[in-house]
Structures are given as structure tokens and as C-alpha cells.
Structure 1
Amino acid sequence: MKGHIRKRGNKYAIVVDMGRDNNGKRKQKWFSGYDKKKDAERDLPIILNDINQGTFVEPANETYMSYLEKWIKNKKSQIKPTTLDTYQRLLRVHIIPGLGHLKLGKMNRLHIKEFYSYLEEEKELAPASIKKIHTVIRSSLSDALEDGLIAKNISAGIKTPRIGRSEIKVWDEVQLMNFLNAIKAETLYIAFHLPAMTGMRRSEVLGIRWKDIDFENKILRVVTTITTKGKSDGKTQNSYSRPIDLDDGTIAELKNRKKQVAKDKLKAGTAYDDQDLVVCTSLGKPISPRNLNRLWYKLRDKVDIPNIRFHDLRHTHATLMLLQGIPAKVVSERLGHASIQTTLNTYGHLLPSIQKEAIQIFSRNLIEKSNNFISIHEG
């Protein structure tokens, strides 16, 4: 039995010759969806060997969601009621919305790794929560393997964010301003200015529309998000629209961006796809999270400052606000955290130093006012 690699568009496929049918017609089995030729070349001998040994498993064509719905029903008699409740909640809230649309037999490790990154960076789930989600995914795929629906458990060996992870990395005021000043001429400068000055998530920045901005009252409302899983309307999905107050500098940058978008529209004419987006291509189309990340790394590496992730611009904003004495409750609302506890869990390590600075400021102000009062009355 022979096989070869074939390119289809910008993807690669493994093609295995399966001989001929009763009518003499040539039979072939295709394994598509490889982004890199070397990955297809790696799997080709494995697939040929499995077919020759009779151990090859035909990829399951049903969706992961369909499989999970049956899997959790069978799991009821095998686990405790409290564990079942946890599994059902994780499936409903995270796993099915994130991975359920994929074909069970076509899922790969990259799907799961990107899903965990999304949960950590966009949803801001704690490492312990992601570890629980991983447990459910690993268990379900282990059973699918045992039932002969998949050839291997792709979740095995995938690392989840470490519980008790190291302290988040942020820039100080000077480093942040050095970066922003260095990239000021960048066409998409606003995409980096906003998270630094508002604490917005990447998905929120990509989803901002001009109609979400109230220039007169200097307020931006987070309604729509764009993630690696596409666009979603936060107002309909989460009954939620978060207002963020804007400073004068950010208002000015948004007005500059609006002028640039107007020029792009005029230049593109009918080719412009107007989706009312603030952060978009020169033709008005949405920018993918991956492409924005690529631009981020390119710009960041041009400046002589410590390496941080795009998401850490949000952490930088929150950290600088807390260090300047802004109440944690205000920071929590600005970031859109579900509760102030999330804010305290994320930035709690800052509170001791903030309290030390706060008591010194309190003491200085009290003494100053007291001295002024005495001077006035003695005078």
C-alpha cells in the first residue's frame, strides 16, 4: 500500500492508494487539513502502518458536542453527583461553546492548546479552573479512544497553565510611555493605546464600533468582541455592556483614527466593507486576533523594554492604577471583572506595597492640613 502528499490550496493532504474496487475503479483515502507539509510527512508512515496492521481507526464524523452529550449521560452512573454537576457546568459554559463544533475525528492538539490560551487570556480563568476543564476533555477523549472512535487521545500530555503561576509581568510608567511613543506612527496605533489606557481585552479592542463611542461624554461601551472563534455580541450573549471612561488623550487618538478610516473609505470606494469597526484593515474588514498578535510582537521587539504579552497591557493598566491609589473596586469595574474578588486574586500581591504608600500619603496630608489649620488660627 502506498501513499503520497498532495497540496490543496494552502493546505496539505495525505492520499493513500487503497487498490481498486470490484469495478476496477481506483480507491483513495484522503487525510486533509495539514497546515505544514512536514506534519503530513510525519503522519504518512504512521497511517500506512496502521492500515497495513489493521489497527487504523476511521475518523469519527460526528461533532465533539454530539459525542459529549452522549458521553455525559453514560457518565452519570460512574461519578458522584457533585462531580457530575461540575462536569455538566464546564461542558455547558466552556467546552461545548469552545470546541463542540469540531469533528471528533478531526480534532488536533493545536485546537486544544489554542482553547486553553483563549480561556486564560480572554476569559481570564484561573489555572485551577482550566485544569478542571482539561480533566473533563481528557476523560471524554480517553473514553472515545476506548470505544474505537479515535486513534489516539490528543489531549494526553498537553500542559495547562501552572497553578501558583509566576507573578504577572507588567511595564512601569516610563516603559509604557516609551513603547507608545515609539509606535505612534503605526497605522493601528489605537489598537495598542486602548488596552494600555483602558485595560480592555484584545477581543474587546477588535470589536469596538464607532457607534459604541460617546465622544461628547467621553465614554466607550464594550458590546461586541472578536476572538479566534469569531465575532460575538456581548450584549445579547451575556446581557452585558461595560462602560469605560476615557481620558482626553484617548479621545484625541480615537479622533485621529476616525480621520484615517475616512481616508481609507474614500480611497477604497465601493471595495470598502464598512462594518463600523475602529480597528480594521484599510478595506474595513475585521483584523484577526492572530494578526494583531503578530503586529504586537513586531512592534514590541523594536523597543528596548522587557518582553510582555499583548494581554499584559491590560495588566499594566490595572497595576498602574492600583499603584496610584485607585480603589480596587473602581479598577474591577473598569476591567469588567465578574467581582472584585477576581481583581484581588489577580493583583493581590500589589496590595501590601499600595497600603504602605497609602498610609504615608495619608499621614503627609493629615499633617499638612493640620499645620495649615494651626497657621491660620495662630495668624
Structure 2
Amino acid sequence: MVTRKNRRTANGSGSIVKRSKMVKGKVYEWWEGRYCVGTNNGTGKIRRPTITGKTQEEVAEKLRAVTAAIDAGTYTEPSKMPLKKWADIWLEDYTSDLKYLTKKTYKSQIENHIKPGMGAVKLGELTKHLVQSFINDLTRKKDLAPKTVKNIHGVLSAVLDTAVELDYIRVNPCAGAKLPRAPKTEVKPLTDEQINDLMKLIDADEYCGPMLKLILFTGLRVSEAIGLTWNCINYKTGTIRIEKQLQERPKKDGGYIFDTTKSDKPRMLTPAPAVMELLKQQGIKQLEAKNKALDQWQGWKDEKERKTSLVFTNEYGQHLRPNIAWRHLKKLAAQVGAPEACVHDLRHTYAVLSLQNGDDVKTLQENLGHATAAFTLDRYGHVSEKMKEDSAARMQKYIEQIKKAE
């Protein structure tokens, strides 16, 4: 819910208001200013478009620029703004609450699809038919996958939702668009035989083996495993706190940095004792690597620094790279008859194993860090062949009990 604070006027530039809203427990704040520009032909009411910014001074400057443009006769009404221009403004000013990779994906979809397809169309001239034609072209002419088309439509809809909120357009023309039906991809976990064979190979992989085993038996995302630090492990309580992930970004955007989890919420895992023992052994191996590397060691320097250092590192104390983990798993999986498997399939395998062993969906949701149990149920609600066989065996046992009672 959006709230309003500290109503002020800056240097006579108009009414400027501080706004805030809470998203997933985090408060986001910005400044908003409105200006008058004629009346609505239909209602006769004064039209007051909105300008936003990160600071009061930024909004005041924008308001002065708009006022000057109106006085000079060079002002362009928001409804006459090309979609490509508004999309750039939206990316800059209205995506601060999005994670880096999400924003990067949105920008890619805008630059590669939305701008080329509809960028020249003015906001006020967008119609449901134009949007539907755009969707159809993505499907038929560009032959994009249904899921990709759905994602592009979602970004366009978000861009135009904000335009509606700011009174730039009356309705969102994306509403009601007919999207291609995307076939549901089936999760393919590793079989028990493949897991047994994989464990033998993983044990011989000193570089990525321990981390891959942790992912398989806890369901961590690879970015969460790579970003796990020693202070998140409590051997006394047998728990692991998952509160961050290590993300790869271009050097210009900071390179590798810590970020919050995908759901923005930390979670506490209580893994099997064997997992805690695995982590203890990893600590011993890391200390041995440090002693062997000597001056080449680039990781933690002392025990105090170690507490906040990474659990999984290479022989020089540097963080592991996601692509290296994927490459190692691919090579190992091919040897056990699962050449298409990737690191994320270890997470899927953990989820199915948990359900097979009696975990309820709510527990699995919390362990995986999903936003809702509904998502977990939709993703893993199908039953494996083993679960079908177990169900049949239970029914057979029940039938036999009935026969004995007759």
C-alpha cells in the first residue's frame, strides 16, 4: 500500500509529496510531483500528470523543466510520448525494488522485442488490437517459445500499468491478451541408481564435489551454496541459515556481489546430520588448502575473518563460479546416464526425494525458499513412479486386510 508523507512545496515548482510502499517487508520511498496541463475533454476535470524521482530536488528540477516547456510551447503530453521513451523512463525510475538479474532481463526484453515491435507507437494510441498483433508476431514470425512470449507480455503490461497509475493512459491495453499456451515442463529428478553412481563420482571431485552434494541434500540454489558463509552454520543446533546469495554481474556493475535470497527472506534449514558432517570436513579441507597455498592464498587471513568467509572456495581461497559448477556436474551426470542434467536438477531431485520420504508440502516450501506453498505444490505436486508403486502397495495391503476380515 502506498502512503504519503511530508507534503511540501519546493521553490514554487508545484506540489511535491514523499511516497512510500512496502514490498515483501521492505520499504521503498520516492518523491512525486504533479502539474496541471489543460482539462480532460470527456470529464472537464483538470489533468494533473505525475513526475517522480528519488529525491525532492530531482522532482523539483523536473517540474521546473516541464513548466518551462509548457511556457515555451514545446511540451509533449505523456499520452503522446512514444512507448520506447516511456519504457526507458520506467526502467530508470520504477524498477528500484527489482533484483539486479530481474531488471537486466526486463531491459533485454524491452530492447530486443518491445522497442522494435511497438516502440514508435504513442502511449495514447496503444490499443488491445495492437498489443494482440504484437503478441501474434512474436509467436508466428519470430517463433519465440510460449514462455518467452508470456514473459515479454508481462514486462509490457508492467510498463503500461505504471502509465495507468500516473494517468498517462486510461486503461492497460495488455489486459485480456490471448497468449500462446505453454506446455508445462516436467521435472525430471535423478533416479536412485543415478544418485548412487553420482555420489561415487562426486566424492572424487575435490573442487566442486562437496558443494554439489550439499545442493543435492538440501535443495539450495547454486547461488545460495556459492554464497554460504561459515557464520551461517551452527553445529550446536545442527542448522544452516540461508540469508544471501553470491551473484555474478558484469565488472561495470560490481562483479560478484552478495544479494538477498530470491524471496528476499532468510530461512533456517535443519539438514541431515550427514550434511553437517560434510560441512565440518569441508572446513578441514579448506584449512589444508590454505596451509598448502601459503602466500598464494587469497581467502580469509585469521579465524575472526574466517567466520564471515565463504564455505566453498578453490585452492586459493577464491569463490567458486556457477559456470564451473555446472560444467563439473554435466561431466559427472553424463557418466551416470543423465547427460541433460544440470545443477538445478539436483535441487529438483531433493524436492522429489523429500516428498517420497514423507515431507509435507509446507515443510518443503520453507526448505526450498519458495514464496508460497501453492507454487511448491504446482511445481512438485506430480508423483514419481516410486510414489505410485508405494501407493499401489498400500492399497494392496488394505485390500488384503479386508479379505482377512470377511
Give the TM bin, normalised by the shorter chain.
0.5 to 0.7
Q: Distance in 2 between matches of 1:101 and 1:320?
A: 34
Count of residue pairs brought into register by the alignment: 254
For 1:96-125, what per-residue CA distance to the aligned partner results, in whole angstroms no more than 9, with x for missing partners?
853289899xx889xxxxxxxxxxxxxxxx
Q: Distance in 2 between matches of 1:77 and 1:108?
A: 20
User: How far apart are 1:163 and its partner, in Å?
Assistant: 2.1
Aligned to 2:190: 171
CA distance change for structure 1 residues 352 and 313 in 2, over 3 Å: closer, same or farther?
closer
Q: Distance in 1 between matches of 2:372 and 2:384?
A: 17
Q: Distance in 2 between matches of 1:232 and 1:186?
A: 26
Aligned to 2:54: none
- The answer to whether the Cα contact below 8 Å between 1:206 and 1:279 also exists between their aligned partners in 2 is yes
Q: Distance in 1 between matches of 2:79 and 2:382?
A: 40
Aligned to 2:286: 261
- The answer to whether the Cα contact below 8 Å between 1:207 and 1:231 also exists between their aligned partners in 2 is no
For 1:29-108, list aligned pairs within 5 A.
93=98, 98-99=103-104
User: How far apart are 1:359 and its partner, in Å?
Assistant: 8.3
TM-score, normalised to structure 2's length? 0.52
Amino acid paired to 1:176: I
SS of the counterpart of 2:329?
helix
User: How far apart are 1:74 and its partner, in Å?
Assistant: 5.1
| Alignment pair present for 1:234 and 2:252 | no
Aligned to 1:210: 230
Q: CA RMSD in A?
A: 4.5
Aligned to 1:67: none
CA distance change for structure 1 residues 74 and 287 in 2, over 3 Å: closer, same or farther?
farther
CA distance change for structure 1 residues 93 and 162 in 2, over 3 Å: closer, same or farther?
farther
Aligned to 1:325: 358
User: How far apart are 1:182 and its partner, in Å?
Assistant: 2.1
Q: Distance in 2 between matches of 1:95 and 1:252?
A: 34
Amino acid paired to 1:93: L
* Equivalent in 367, 375, 383 of residue 350 of structure 1: 383
Amino acid paired to 1:263: E
Q: Distance in 1 between matches of 2:96 and 2:399?
A: 54
Q: Distance in 1 between matches of 2:289 and 2:181?
A: 44
Q: Distance in 2 between matches of 1:244 and 1:308?
A: 25
Q: Distance in 1 between matches of 2:368 and 2:99?
A: 21
Identity of aligned residues (%): 23
For 1:94-133, list aligned pairs within 5 A.
98-99=103-104, 131-133=149-151
Amino acid paired to 1:284: G
For 1:180-191, list aligned pairs within 5 A.
180-187=199-206, 188-191=208-211
CA distance change for structure 1 residues 241 and 165 in 2, over 3 Å: closer, same or farther?
same
Q: Distance in 2 between matches of 1:101 and 1:134?
A: 8
| Alignment pair present for 1:194 and 2:214 | yes
SS of the counterpart of 2:299?
coil
- The answer to whether the Cα contact below 8 Å between 2:215 and 2:346 also exists between their aligned partners in 1 is yes
User: How far apart are 1:91 and its partner, in Å?
Assistant: 8.3
For 1:322-369, what per-residue CA distance to the aligned partner results, in whole angstroms no more than 9, with x for missing partners?
12222111111111111100111101222898588458649959999x
Q: Distance in 2 between matches of 1:166 and 1:239?
A: 26
For 1:49-72, what per-residue CA distance to the aligned partner results, in whole angstroms no more than 9, with x for missing partners?
xxxxxxxxxxxxxxxxxxxxxxxx
Amino acid paired to 1:234: T
Amino acid paired to 1:324: N
Q: Distance in 2 between matches of 1:246 and 1:330?
A: 12
Aligned to 1:150: none
